[in-house]
Amino acid sequence: MSVPPTPDPLGPFLDRTVLPPCWTVRFQPVSPSTNDWARSAAQQGAPDRTVFVADFQTAGRGRQGRVWSAPPGTSLLFSVLLTRGAPAPHLFTMLGSVSTCQAIESMLGLEPRIKWPNDVMVGTKKVCGILAEATEGGAGRFVIVGIGINVNAGAEAFAELPNGSSLVLESGMRVHRGELLVTILDRMDQWLSLPPEDLHSALWQAWDQRIWRRAQQVRVREGDVELEATVIGGSPDGTLALRDAEGRLVRIVAGEILL
Ligand code: BTN
């Protein structure tokens, strides 16, 4: 499948873009899933901080086995291969959501929030999803942080996704996907250049400060269990702390907040 021309062609932009030292970008107009592309490249020895970008995915994947689809050329779809720089995989997912929020804040002046664990929201609308996967293979253990951002998709793309939106719809400004990508990678690079002993607490604080619906009541699901509880905040280990109707502290490890 070919991708129709867009006002912000990614391939030529990335060819002439200078990234922070040690980062490289690979671009394909169409990929089944940039996470799968990153995984097979890692198994063949692709280095730390290689970024895999596509204009369109034919088999994009979301969390919990869901499909992630986006109209061709409207979204920023990429996966970052990381093999060092943080001691725990959950920090890499925080790295993805915090860096994405920072880029949206600086480029568009919006106030995105992180719907636990790692969806990026503008108001009540999801504009970005993150799928982080840790695997052994090739040169050792690696983490793939896959990020899908709805950038320039119009309202028709969300006709059947009432909780989804795009940056252009929320800000009224078209965004160059290449510039957004480079801004996110710059933020990631800044975080990863912190000494490891500082990275964890600084990144957790930046993530926790942006937690969506803090002090508000939400409905959460973990496995077969659903409950109403009030969000306290994110914990350093990546779990979400809430208080239930009886005042008990509850921690969610692998569930989600329901919209
Ligand atoms: C979610 O919200 O469920 C996570 C969605 C993650 C989508 C991105 S798009 C780039 C990367 N490649 C994939 O197949 N998935 C992630």
Nearest ligand 1 atom to the CA of 62 is 3
pTM, rounded to two decimals: 0.96
The residue to mutate among 27, 35, 53, having the most atoms of ligand 1 within 8 angstroms of its beta carbon, is 35
pLDDT in tens, 79-116: 999 987 656 778 899 999 999 999 999 999 999 999 99
Token pair recorded at residue 16: 């002439």
When comparing pLDDT for 38 and 139, which is higher? 38
pLDDT band, very low/low/confident/very high, at 1 (cuts 50, 70, 90): low
pLDDT score recorded for residue 140: 78
**151 CB-near residues (< 8 Å, 6+ apart):** 74, 75, 76, 166, 167, 168, 175, 177, 180
Answer whether 66 contacts ligand 1 (Cβ < 6 A).
yes
Question: Ligand 1 in contact with 60 (CB < 6 A)?
Answer: yes
What is the C-alpha separation between 107 and 52, in angstroms, rounded? Answer: 22
Ligand 1 centroid from CA 59, angstroms:
10
| Closest ligand 1 atom number to CA of residue 35 | 12
Bond prior to 72 in cis (omega within 30° of 0): no
Residue 134: its pLDDT value, please?
87
Q: Does ligand 1 lie within 6 Å of residue 57's CB atom?
A: yes
Answer whether residue 230 shows pLDDT above 60.
yes
> How far is Cα 124 from Cα 82, in angstroms, rounded to an integer?
31
**pLDDT score at 136:** 76
Confidence at residue 7, expressed as pLDDT on a 0 to 100 scale: 82
What integer pLDDT is reported at residue 31 of this predicted model?
98
pLDDT of residue 85: 60
- Per-position b or e across 12-36, b if 16+ CB within 10 A of its CB: ebbeeeebeeebebbbbbebebbbb
Q: Which atom of ligand 1 is nearest to the CA of 70?
A: 9
pLDDT at 196: 84
Q: What is the spatial distance between Cα 82 and Cα 79, in angstroms, rounded to a whole number?
A: 10
pLDDT (average), residues 168-183: 97
DSSP string, 53-75: EEEEESS-B-GGG-B----TTSE
Higher pLDDT, 6 or 42: 42
CA distance readout (Å), 234 to 96, 213, 239, 251, 255: 15, 11, 6, 9, 13
DSSP string, 118-166: TEEEETTEEEEEEEEEEEEETTEEEEEEEEEEE-S--GGGGTT-TTB--
Band (pLDDT 50/70/90 cuts) for residue 3 is: low
Please state, in angstroms and rounded to a whole number, the distance separating the CA atoms of residues 42 and 133. Answer: 12
Q: Is the CB of 39 under 6 A from ligand 1?
A: no
pLDDT digits (tens, 9 = 90+) for 114-168: 999 989 999 999 999 999 998 876 667 889 999 999 999 999 999 999 999 999 9
Ligand 1 touching residue 73 (CB < 6 A)? no
Structure confidence by residue, pLDDT tens digits, 179-225:
999 999 999 999 999 998 899 999 999 999 999 999 999 999 999 99
The whole-number average pLDDT for the span 34-50 is 94
Query: What is the distance in A from the centroid of ligand 1 to the CA of 128?
Result: 9
Smallest CA separation from ligand 1 atom 11, residue: 146
Cα 63 to middle of ligand 1, angstroms: 7
CA distances from 55 to 28, 52, 72, 124, 131 (A): 7, 11, 6, 26, 17
- 240 pLDDT band, cuts 50/70/90, is very high
Mean pLDDT value across the chain: 93
